[in-house]
Amino acid sequence: MLIVKTYLKEVKGKGIGLFSGQKIKKDEIVWQEDNLIDRTFSHEVIENLPQILRDFFEKYASFQADGTIYLCGDNARFFNHSYSPNCLSILDSDGIVIKNIAARGDIEENEELTIDYRMEDEPSKIDLGFKYME
């Protein structure tokens, strides 16, 4: 769930983007998993849903390192990709994203919040300085 104030806005060429509604300091938590809002599903559950819901999952869900399907329940699903993101994903020992933090000094109010999708989808295949929980 998002921990900081945010809003959505159209980003030319990208669709909808997530923007900061406040100044965010380096290493401040931006998003943190909350199992009341964010849910993990098996492939079997998704396969048995009506097509309209499967389409929703295809658009907004992501695959976890453990093979499950993850659906973010709030607007954090609108983080856009950047090769130079201003938010960094923190993984647990299984390679599952458990939080995003501000990756650099102050993120300004009204600045788009971005992550590197490669880290979300295939963290074991690249080394970009991902932080792992110990």
Q: Which residues contact 118 (CB under 8 A, 6 or more apart)?
A: 125, 126, 128
Give the residue ranges of the chain where pLDDT is below 70. 119-134
pLDDT for position 121:
52
Tokens of 38: 């964010």
Domains contained in the chain, CATH given: 6-125 (2.170.270.10)
pLDDT for position 77:
92
Please give the model's pTM, rounded to 2 decimal places: 0.81
Tens digits of per-residue pLDDT, 104-124?
Answer: 889 999 999 999 887 665 444
Q: Are 18 and 115 in contact (CB under 8 A)?
A: no
pLDDT for position 127:
38
C-alpha dihedral, 116 to 120 to 122 to 128, nearest 10° = 40
